[in-house]
Amino acid sequence: MTDRGNAATRSGNAAERDGTTVEIAFALLTGALLGTLVVLALSAPVLLGRAHGHAAAVWWTTATVTGCTTGLARVVSVLWRYDRRRRLSRAIPAAPAPTRRPARRVGHDPGPRA
C-alpha cells in the first residue's frame, strides 16, 4: 500500500532538488566562462607579445586574480538570487481556489431572497 501524500511530497522535493542542481550547474558554468573571458581579455597584452619579463608576470597575475574573483562573484550572485526566489516562492501562500457560483438558468425567476 502506497501513501500518496508522501509520494507527492517526495516528488515535490525531488523537483526542488533537481532545480537546485540545475541552478548550481548554471552558476558554475557561467562563472567559469565569465572568469575565462576576463582572464583572456586582461592578458591580451601578454598573449599578443606586447609585455615581456616582469610586466608579463604582473599582467598574468592580475588577469588570473581578477578572472577568478569575477567568476566566483558570478557564482555567488546567481546562487543568492536563486535562494531569494526560492524563499519568496515558499513564503507566498498559494491563492485559494475560486468558489464556483451555480449557473443561472435563463428564464427562471427564483423569486425574492429572504
Average pLDDT taken over every residue of the chain: 84
**Predicted pLDDT at 109:** 64
Q: Tell how far CA 66 is from the center of its chain.
A: 24
Q: Identify the sign of the CA torsion 78, 83, 86, 88.
A: negative
DSSP 53: T
**Predicted pLDDT at 100:** 72
**Predicted pLDDT at 10:** 52
**Predicted pLDDT at 15:** 86
Q: Per mean pLDDT, which range of 2-16, 41-55, 70-84 is the poorest?
A: 2-16
**Predicted pLDDT at 13:** 86
Q: What φ, ψ does residue 32 adopt, rounded to 5°? A: -65, -45
> For 70-85, how does the pLDDT look when each residue is reduced to its tens digit (9 = 90+)?
999 999 999 999 999 9
